[in-house]
Structure formats: structure tokens, C-alpha cells
Structure 1
Amino acid sequence: MLVALFAEHLLDDSVGDRPDVLLAVPADGVRARQRGLEHAEWLTCQLAGYLALPVMVARRRRGVGQAQRGLSRSARLRNLRGSFVIDGPLPAHVALVDDVMTTGATIEQLARCCKQAGARRVDAWVMARTPVC
């Protein structure tokens, strides 16, 4: 239901330019295996179906960074430096999709990686925002 409502909002012409591609924020491999699901990847595929957009994949480098829980924004940024890899060039406009955003550090680091891979504009689409105290 949440994905359908989000997609409906995005299909509204007043929202603005649609991206060329959707890219899921990759989960840490260990945590994804523990959960049995990569939430952002699932959301991205669902949205791509509604919006008729292609999906590209980013990967997390193995052994880089620790769990983000409990870290400050600056510590999260340092922790994630060099964590993401994108194979191949990206189109000009990319939308990153994630289930929850806390400090925005993950999105920021992945957006930097997208820019290095050729994107000129990177949007962040998240389903929920965690309040930061």
C-alpha cells in the first residue's frame, strides 16, 4: 500500500522531472542475510514496476565500515567513506531509494559515488525519516 501511494504521488506531473534510473541503497550483506530481505532493493523494484523505470545496482564493499546504529552523523560519514561501488556509468538523473533515512549519511556517501559514476542529479526517495535528536 505504501509503495502504491508513493508511486501515485511520483506520477503526479507537479512533482517534477522523473529520474532516468532508480538505484537501491544497498544493505550491509551480513544484516541483509540475517533479515532475509533487502528492504530498499524490494522497494526499488516495486517502484520501478509502477513507474516503468529501469533499476541499476550499487554494491557495498566487503569489510568496509561497521554497523551505523548509535553513531553520530560525522562518525557515520567517516564510517561509510569508500563503502559503495557502482559498476558502469550512470545516466544524468538518478533516484536513490531507501526504506528509512536517519542522518542522511548513507544517502550522501552513495550520492557522491553516483556523481563519480557520471550522474549530474541525484534525488533521495525514502519511505520514512527517523527523527534525529
Structure 2
Amino acid sequence: MTASLAEVLRQHYHQEIWPEAIIPVPLHRKRLQQRGYNQALLLAKALNRQLKDKKMVLDKKMVKRIRATEAQQQLKASERLKNIRGAFVCRETGYRHVAIVDDVVTTGETVSELSRVLKKQGVKTIDVWCLVRTPAI
């Protein structure tokens, strides 16, 4: 599946400037312990391998989820922003262009909140790479 996404990305960025870094959406440590893996990180690692010729950094430590949140898929669209607000912190970065990687994007609240904290640290361009874009509930 990631090979297909990598090919779509190659076509999309044909002459465009690729992001400097790939940022997987982080899980809170409690959720990571429950699940045993971070699906966004697994996806980001696979994409980074398949796009290694683009020399992007896989930065899994730049952003941290500091607050445990309810699973977004269990919430109505109107509840998702409130749930995710203030859940992330970002260390200072020199990146100007990054790609956020997530498996599923529905309302976009998670990637919007993550984008907000990245922009506060000076990131100018943020792309979102996901496997699935679903309609909001």
C-alpha cells in the first residue's frame, strides 16, 4: 500500500520541492503502550524507505503528544477540535517545509492542530500525507 502512495507522491511532486522532513503524527505514551505500535510512524518509515532518493529526514522526535486524548474516530466532528487542542508540543526546528504523515484523515483536526504547533516553530509549508481521507461524521 505504501508503494502506491509513494508513487502518487512522486507524480504529485514531479517538479515540486520535496519536504525536508517527514513528521509522523505522534501517539501519547499511554496509547502507544495499549496498541504496541504507532501506525503513522510505521507508514512514515515505509514511505521514507521508498522515497530515500529524496533525502528527507524522518523526524519522529520533533513533535510530542503531551496529553492523552480520546480516540478521534469515536467523536463527532464538532467534538474533535476540543479533544485535540493543546495535545502537541514541538521542539524548535530549522525546517521550513515538512510533511505530516497519518493513516486516516477525517475532519483534519489532528493535522490542523499539529500544523498549528509546527507553524509556531517557524515551519512555513506543511503537506499532509495520508492513506485514507474519509468524510466527517
Relative to the length of structure 1, the TM-score reads 0.87
- Aligned partners of 1:121 and 1:32: how far apart in 2? 28
Letter in 2 for 1:26: P
1:59 pairs with 2:58: no
Secondary structure at the counterpart of residue 69 of structure 1: helix
5 Å-filtered alignment, 1:30-69, equals 30-52=30-52, 53-57=56-60, 58-63=63-68, 65-69=69-73
- Aligned partners of 2:32 and 2:113: how far apart in 1? 19
Q: Flag structure 1 segments of 5+ consecutive residues without an equivalent.
A: none
Q: Which runs of 4+ in 1 moved over 6 A?
A: none
Aligned residue for 2:123? 119
Q: Flag structure 2 segments of 5+ consecutive residues without an equivalent.
A: none
1:73 pairs with 2:73: no
Aligned residue for 1:21? 21
Instruction: Calculate the aligned-residue CA RMSD, in Å.
Output: 1.8
Aligned residue for 1:9? 8
Tell me how far 1:27 sits from its aligned partner: 1.9
Secondary structure at the counterpart of residue 72 of structure 2: coil
Tell me how far 1:47 sits from its aligned partner: 0.9
Identity, in percent, stands at: 37
Tell me how far 1:88 sits from its aligned partner: 2.3
Tell me how far 1:118 sits from its aligned partner: 1.1
Q: In the TM superposition, what whole-angstrom CA distance separates every residue of 1:4-24 from its partner, at most 9, and x where no partner exists?
A: 111122223537331111000
Aligned residue for 2:96? 92
Tell me how far 1:29 sits from its aligned partner: 2.5
1:131 pairs with 2:130: no
Q: In the TM superposition, what whole-angstrom CA distance separates every residue of 1:12-59 from its partner, at most 9, and x where no partner exists?
A: 353733111100011233222222110001111111122221111321
> Residue 9 of structure 1 contacts residue 15 of structure 1 at CA under 8 Å; is this kept in 2?
no
- Aligned partners of 2:59 and 2:17: how far apart in 1? 18
